[in-house]
DNA sequence: CGTTGATTTGAGACGGTTCAACTGGAGTGG
DNA sequence: CCACTCCAGTTGAACCGTCTCAAATCAACG
């Protein structure tokens, strides 16, 4: 199902059957996109949104020398660029990381959905605010944590998000990111990412080999990254550890 | 006027008279808040929003040792915590920086506004997405720029935002932030902020003395910070310099 | 089996932190 | 009107986390 994972496990805003049906009816096309493909380029007008069904996508801003800073990483169930509905034009690029399957929904159909139901509007609005909350967590990560903390925080976040949509069992999950991707997420060099991953491995906290992440000591990893999942607005928050 | 500066100068979403009136009618109270006062604490339920009329506010996340990372800085015209309308609870704190005058609008009145007008809803939604776009610019700042670039980027951004609401002439503006505040924004120590400000002063690019910022060479400062105002979605973007 | 891209490792350089001390202005009370 | 305190700002010197540059290894794939 197209909307199976959308807002799944999120407090207060779970979609009811009617809403799911309405969104699915608004889908104009299901598209498969190859890995490492730019879907939306900054500055170009956008007339539709993409709901990620399968695969991984990201959003990023290039600096003067073409070095990227990732500003978002997307997993199945994410409404990748719903914000383009109100913004019309994005100031960053949107691209696939792996091969991805997305549902395309034209802006004018979202407008129609929104006019029909203020309640659904609020839920969609919520979904964009969730992105903003993640941005803030990323700001914390970059501003206050050292390289190991950043990696740890990102891995905890991704684990929690994938768990919410049933793609992690809470300890192990598949993640198709290169060390360079991780570097662009965490604002460090890929060389340093490599050293930190080794350190995590040697300390028996976490391993990341051939696309498989395994959190051997999730609590310790969360502590390293000062990770608190409150900003993900999940249904059942596991006990906080502070 | 309470809504004078709200969304002022923003592309496509300028409020019309009727919308302004509707929002002003929704205001339950105008409140003055002392400097350095926490308005909303992370985790507590929120039932109203604050529209900043005068003064400066900020939002921040504390780390384990109580060190802050600012995730947003607010100037007059900003709907500081409109996102709380959909989120219900915030995962960060909201506080004043200077003494501030705010208009309080209860969530249920926003709900009423929203039910009445999908168009106004989209504009309010836009305003929260603007915050998200700024978060992304801040991510770029922390992830890709060195200390001088971060300061430069922040000063350019603030200049542009204040100019949009008529509080900067494009070169000079009042900014009541301590060097420690700047440090918490830019993710560096206040000591280093001090050194960078000196450097900017000595190079004749920018001065910041007793709450007055003066951009002596705005283009050079923008270059240092790789600043491009596209993400502010202003009406009339000045010529890009890249 | 050669090419290509990702990962791994080492050594040196550098940006920014840390700790510590000093300056200067604003507010307060004697 | 001066002494005292407080806090933002300023400066120096040593230290350290991360970057840079360079090179080796490894895996995937045509």
Identify the CA nearest to A49 among candidates A85, A21, A2: A85
Task: Determine, yes or no, domain membership for A5.
Answer: no
Is the model's pLDDT at A240 over the cut of 70? Answer: no
Indicate which of A84, A113, A136 best probes the interface with B, i.e. most B CBs within 10 Å of its own CB: A136
Residues 182-241 of B with CB under 8 A from A: 184, 186-187, 226, 230-231, 233
Task: Determine, yes or no, domain membership for B242.
Answer: no
Q: Is the shortest CB-to-strand distance from A217 to strand D under 7 Å?
A: no
Nearest CA in chain B to A44: B230
How many structural domains comprise chain B?
Answer: 2
Same domain, A180 and A73: no
Same domain, B93 and B172: no
Q: What is the mean pLDDT of residues A182-193?
A: 98
- Phi-psi domain of B92 (left: phi exceeds 0; alpha: psi -120 through 50; beta: other): beta
Do A129 and B128 count as a contact with CB atoms less than 8 A apart? yes
- Distance, in Å, from the CA atom of B232 to the CA atom of B131, rounded to the nearest integer, reads 9
What pLDDT band is residue A239 in, cutting at 50, 70 and 90? Answer: very low
Same domain, B131 and B48: yes
HSE-CB for A93 with a 13 A CA cutoff: 17
Supply the pLDDT for residue B237.
Answer: 52
pLDDT tens series, chain B, 242 aa: 799 999 999 998 999 999 999 999 999 999 999 999 999 999 999 999 999 999 999 999 999 998 999 999 999 999 999 999 999 999 999 999 999 999 999 999 999 999 999 999 999 999 999 999 999 999 999 999 999 999 999 999 999 999 999 999 999 999 999 999 999 999 999 999 999 999 999 999 999 988 999 999 999 999 999 999 999 999 875 444 44
Task: Give the structural domain span for B93.
Answer: 17-135
Q: Average pLDDT, whole number, for chain A? A: 95
Task: Determine, yes or no, domain membership for B47.
Answer: yes
Do B140 and A71 count as a contact with CB atoms less than 8 A apart? yes
The answer to whether B225 and B153 are in contact (CB under 8 A) is yes
Same domain, B130 and B152: no
At which residue do the structure tokens 């836009």 appear? B126
Same domain, B178 and B129: no
Same domain, A119 and A41: yes
| Contact with chain B for residue A242, Cβ under 8 A | yes
CATH of the domain at A168: 1.10.10.10
For A139, which of B67, B142, B226 is closest by C-beta distance?
B142
Same domain, A175 and A88: no
User: Cα–Cα distances in Å, from B219 out to A90, B197, B201, B241, B242?
Assistant: 24, 17, 15, 8, 11
Read off φ and ψ for residue A63, nearest 5 degrees.
Answer: -90, -175
Q: Which residues 6+ apart lie within 8 Å of B91 measured at CB?
A: A133, A136, A137, A230, A231, B42, B43, B61
Do A121 and B121 count as a contact with CB atoms less than 8 A apart? yes
User: Cα–Cα distances in Å, from A59 out to A68, A125, A185, B219?
Assistant: 10, 19, 10, 28
Do B139 and A140 count as a contact with CB atoms less than 8 A apart? no
Domain boundary, last residue among B77, B104, B135: B135
Å between CA of A212 and C1' of D27? 16
Task: Determine, yes or no, domain membership for B58.
Answer: yes
pLDDT tens-place string over residues A20-74: 999 999 999 999 999 999 999 999 999 999 999 999 999 999 999 989 999 999 9
Same domain, B165 and B130: no
Same domain, A120 and A190: no
Task: Determine, yes or no, domain membership for A107.
Answer: yes
Nearest CA in chain A to B42: A230
The answer to whether B124 and B110 are in contact (CB under 8 A) is yes
* pTM of the entire predicted model: 0.95
Supply the pLDDT for residue B214.
Answer: 96
Task: Determine, yes or no, domain membership for B9.
Answer: no
Task: Determine, yes or no, domain membership for B10.
Answer: no
pLDDT tens-place string over residues A66-124: 899 999 999 999 999 999 999 999 999 999 999 999 999 999 999 999 999 999 999 99
Same domain, B108 and B188: no
The answer to whether A197 and A166 are in contact (CB under 8 A) is no
CATH of the domain at B112: 2.60.120.10
Å between CA of B34 and C1' of C29? 25
Domain boundary, last residue among B85, B106, B135: B135
Same domain, B159 and B119: no
Chain A residues in contact with B230 by the CB 8 A cut-off are 42-43, 91
Same domain, A65 and A130: yes
Chain B residues in contact with A189 by the CB 8 A cut-off are none
Task: Determine, yes or no, domain membership for A6.
Answer: no
Supply the pLDDT for residue B236.
Answer: 72
Supply the pLDDT for residue A210.
Answer: 83
Do A86 and B136 count as a contact with CB atoms less than 8 A apart? no
Do A118 and B122 count as a contact with CB atoms less than 8 A apart? no
| Contact with chain B for residue A119, Cβ under 8 A | no
For A132, which of B70, B135, B233 is closest by C-beta distance?
B135
Closest-CA distance of chain B to residue A54, Å: 24
Domain boundary, last residue among B135, B169, B199: B135
């Amino acid at each position: 199902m197209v909307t199976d994972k959308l807002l799944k496990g999120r407090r207060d805003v779970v979609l009811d059957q009617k809403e799911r049906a309405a969104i699915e009816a608004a889908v104009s096309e299901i598209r498969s996109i190859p890995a490492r493909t730019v879907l939306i380029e900054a500055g170009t007008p956008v007339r539709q949104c993409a709901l990620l069904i399968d695969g991984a996508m990201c959003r990023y801003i290039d600096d003067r020398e073409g070095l990227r800073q990732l500003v978002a990483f997307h997993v199945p169930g994410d409404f990748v660029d719903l914000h383009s509905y109100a913004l019309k034009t994005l100031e960053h690029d949107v691209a696939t990381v792996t091969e991805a399957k997305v549902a395309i929904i034209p802006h004018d159909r979202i407008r129609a959905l929104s006019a029909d139901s203020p309640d659904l509007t609020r839920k969609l609005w919520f979904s964009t605010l969730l992105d903003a909350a993640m941005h803030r967590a990323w700001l914390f990560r970059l501003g206050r944590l050292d390289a190991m903390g950043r990696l740890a925080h990102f891995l905890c976040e991704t684990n929690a998000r994938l768990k919410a949509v049933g793609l992690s069992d809470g300890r192990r999950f598949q993640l198709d990111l290169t060390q360079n991707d991780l570097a662009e997420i965490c604002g460090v060099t890929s060389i340093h990412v490599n050293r930190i991953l080794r350190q995590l491995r040697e300390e028996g906290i976490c391993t990341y080999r051939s696309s498989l992440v395994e959190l051997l000591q999730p609590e310790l990893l969360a502590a390293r990254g000062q990770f608190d999942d409150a900003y993900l607005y999940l249904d059942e928050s596991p006990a906080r550890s502070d």
